[in-house]
């Protein structure tokens, strides 16, 4: 599990963040980039850089064979997926391992299991983590789903098993709407994720979105690094992430954190990950939502209040190192907020789209120091 050079299968800010983590441990970084990103900062900052295809993600950042060929060509011994793109693709993790490389993340089996909302909720139940009432059975026939919908009662959600970002999800407030909601959710899930399986879940209005950062090694140790609130969202995308979650009863906070550790231990989870919950203040209850088997965009707020470098520990865990921290060593100090900037088109019902920033002030301080290494022109190659 020894490696000295890490290929980063991603782009932009997260690629630069991982480069800084590599530099901290004396590891060389390899950037892979599309033709459109040839002059991007993350390419310039890397120790080595390889062009792997055209501007379309399918030709570059989602091209598994091109990424593996780049790793072979540059002598990289490990691959970090970042977030997005292939980060929660169990097939990619398995392909990296099959190529004799180290995947910096959890085992492929854990990614696959948590990638299915149905299987993830079953794992949560086994680990004694609360879940919302609903139907998550293998029988996906219309008759069975409608029967379960009647038994569950309204309001309820039809949700895609492989879903995310609100795709493949429908709210049903009248049972007459159930057949159409099931049909449309299946179709969207199939188109977006290649998996038409859906499940039913009681709808819990006015809940908060609270998540727990966890970190596990290959030696059986799992820690939590506190919680954060991600309730303020638009188009099912988080806008503000806040750590720790404000106005959360301490007994509830402790229970959420330990339930996340319990779930991660039950699936022998390694690397960084996040267990997400819905918290219902009116009922005083929380419910497992999903587990993200990767580093998240909002990981810096957990780092800010704990002083724990998640990327450094991802790299160290991937090398087989054991966590040197006990849970009692993790101290929480202060408060951190991350805000995302979103661009929308008001003439298209405010649909998200790419926007332009015409002016702004670059933030300064912890976490914003650019990488000091620079790619040499002789290290930039193109793989057909």
Which residues does the annotation mark as catalytic? 294
State the Cα–Cα distance between residues 60 and 54, nearest whole angstrom: 6
Q: Tokens at residue 30, please?
A: 């390899």
Backbone angles phi, psi at 287, to 5 degrees: -140, 140
Q: Using only C-alpha atoms, what is the Rg of the chain?
A: 21
Closest CA to 185 of 131, 232, 149: 149
State the Cα–Cα distance between residues 39 and 41, nearest whole angstrom: 7
**Alpha carbon of 353 to those of 13, 286, 297, 303, 346: distances in Å?**
19, 33, 19, 30, 10
Asked if residues 32 and 43 have their Cβ atoms less than 8 Å apart, the reply is: no
Q: Tokens at residue 179, please?
A: 């057949």
- Total H helices, total E strands in the chain: 11, 20
> Which residues does 201 contact at the CB level (< 8 Å), separation at least 6?
132, 133, 134, 156, 157, 159
Kind and range of the H or E run holding 29: strand 28-34
Q: Does residue 155 have a cis bond before it (omega within 30 degrees)?
A: yes
State the Cα–Cα distance between residues 109 and 126, nearest whole angstrom: 17
Q: Tokens at residue 25, please?
A: 């441990």
Residues recorded for the chain: 384
DSSP string of 206-253, one letter each residue: T-EEEEEEEEE-TTS-EEEEEEEE---EETTEE-EEEESPSS--HHHH
Asked if residues 80 and 6 have their Cβ atoms less than 8 Å apart, the reply is: yes
- Specify the DSSP class assigned to residue 116: S
Asked if residues 372 and 23 have their Cβ atoms less than 8 Å apart, the reply is: yes
State the Cα–Cα distance between residues 136 and 81, nearest whole angstrom: 30
């Amino acid at each position: 599990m020894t490696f000295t050079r890490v290929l980063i299968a991603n782009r932009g800010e997260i690629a630069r963040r991982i480069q800084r983590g590599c530099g901290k441990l004396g590891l060389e970084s390899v950037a892979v980039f599309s033709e459109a990103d040839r002059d991007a900062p993350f390419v310039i900052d890397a120790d080595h850089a390889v062009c792997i295809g055209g501007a379309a993600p399918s030709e570059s950042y989602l091209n598994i064979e091109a990424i593996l060929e780049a790793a072979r060509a540059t002598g990289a011994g490990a691959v970090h997926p970042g977030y997005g793109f292939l980060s929660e693709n169990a097939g990619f993790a398995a392909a990296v391992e099959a190529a004799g490389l180290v995947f910096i993340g959890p085992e492929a089996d854990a990614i696959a299991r948590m990638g299915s909302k149905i299987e993830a909720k079953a794992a949560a139940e086994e680990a004694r983590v609360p879940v919302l009432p609903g139907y998550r059975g293998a029988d996906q026939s219309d008759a069975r789903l409608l029967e379960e919908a009647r038994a569950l009662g309204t309001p309820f959600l039809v949700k895609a098993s492989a879903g995310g970002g609100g795709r493949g999800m429908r709210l049903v407030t009248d049972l007459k709407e159930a057949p159409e909601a099931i049909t449309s959710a299946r179709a969207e899930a199939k188109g977006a994720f290649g998996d038409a399986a859906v499940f039913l879940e009681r709808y819990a209005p006015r809940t908060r979105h609270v998540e727990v950062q966890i970190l596990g090694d290959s030696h059986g140790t799992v820690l939590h690094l506190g919680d954060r609130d991600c309730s303020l969202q638009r188009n099912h995308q988080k806008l503000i992430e806040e750590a720790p979650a404000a106005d959360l009863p301490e007994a509830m906070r402790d229970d959420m954190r330990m339930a996340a550790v319990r779930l991660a231990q039950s699936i022998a989870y390694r690397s960084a990950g996040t267990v997400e919950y819905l918290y219902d203040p009116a009922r005083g209850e929380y419910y497992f939502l999903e587990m993200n088997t990767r580093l998240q965009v909002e990981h810096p707020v957990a780092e800010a209040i704990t002083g724990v470098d998640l990327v450094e520990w991802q790299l160290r865990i991937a090398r087989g190192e054991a966590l040197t921290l006990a849970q009692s060593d993790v101290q929480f100090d202060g408060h951190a907020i991350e805000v995302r900037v979103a661009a929308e088109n008001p003439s298209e019902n405010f649909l998200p789209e790419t926007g332009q920033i015409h002016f702004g002030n670059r933030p300064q301080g912890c976490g914003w120091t650019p990488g000091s290494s620079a790619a040499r022109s002789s290290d930039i190659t193109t793989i057909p």
